[in-house]
Amino acid sequence: MSTLVGAAIGMLAGLHAATWGMYKDAPHEGFSVLKYLRSPLLGTFLGAIVQQLGALNPTRPADALILFGVVYVVERALGEIYKTFLRNEDQSKYFIPMQLHMFGEVVRSRTARLAAGTLYAGTLLGMVACLYQYDSGAGAKPHLLVLLLIGSLGGWISAFGGAWKDAPLEGFQILKFFRSPALAAMFAYAAFGLTDSLLLVTLAATGYTIATTETYKTFLFPSKPRGKFAGKPVNFPDMLLTRQRAVLPYVAVWAALVLVALKAFHG
């Protein structure tokens, strides 16, 4: 039962991510059912795996919240690694290239991209291993400053990665740079009330940071195109109306998370 519930929560995390992605991309790229279902299907698989590896009981509100956040960040990380280092795609349709690039110039060498991707993925796995070891040997709760610094780690990775990718073309925005670390620290502080695992806290905090920032950018500024499509034509204008159908279920997932959080913290 726990595995099935974990898979269902993972599916919702993937659906949530797929929805804001579709909402922003579909007017420029069109809608593809297979592309839309990719994140929910991967999230379903990850939900079952993370539930087992993290020894989480997703029927408990606290564990369900942690699981959602962890699946969210792992699914997003896998997607970004694929698009940045592995996928070959025509980049002319983008203002900001999605493949690995140096100051706006796409790295054409597949070997170089694979080498960079291996180093990047290895670094992430190394960080996960270090946090796992910390959890295994920790006898007391970390100092608040340690919690905030480590818990915001994913936000710093996102900030530096975003600056590397976007700043050469969009310019450096200091408030945007510090947004993700600040949110991640806040979510880490909250998540530590749900689990003693600093690894799960850090991953979940990063997942909720991504979900929050993407919701803010997508639905509070619906007429502003994603940075990668800045200045590019809207090739599928009918999607500007059709995509509205996804808003209600998207809000429903957020509402469910709020209700579960209320139960977890005050139940």
101 close to 85: Cβ distance less than 8 angstroms? no
State the alpha helices, DSSP H only, in 152-267: 153-170, 174-191, 198-219, 239-242, 247-266
In three-state secondary structure terms, 49 is helix
The residue among 202 and 173 whose pLDDT is bigger is 202
- pTM of the predicted structure, to 2 decimals: 0.93
Please tell me the distance from the alpha carbon of residue 79 to that of residue 71, in angstroms, as a whole number.
Answer: 12
In three-state secondary structure terms, 194 is coil
| Span 23-44, average pLDDT | 94
Instruction: State the chain's mean pLDDT as an integer.
Output: 91
pLDDT for 232 equals: 84
At residue 80, φ and ψ (nearest 5 deg) are -70, -40
pLDDT-based confidence at residue 267 (cuts at 50, 70, 90) = low
| Span 241-260, average pLDDT | 95
DSSP 63: H
β-bridge mates for residue 101, sequence order? 106
Domain residue extents for the chain: 2-266
171 close to 226: Cβ distance less than 8 angstroms? no
pLDDT for 68 equals: 98
Per the document, the length of the chain is 267
pLDDT for 139 equals: 64
Helices vs strands, H then E, count in the chain: 10, 2
pLDDT for 21 equals: 93
Q: Of 64-68, 69-73, 161-165, 231-235, where does mean pLDDT reach its minimum? A: 161-165
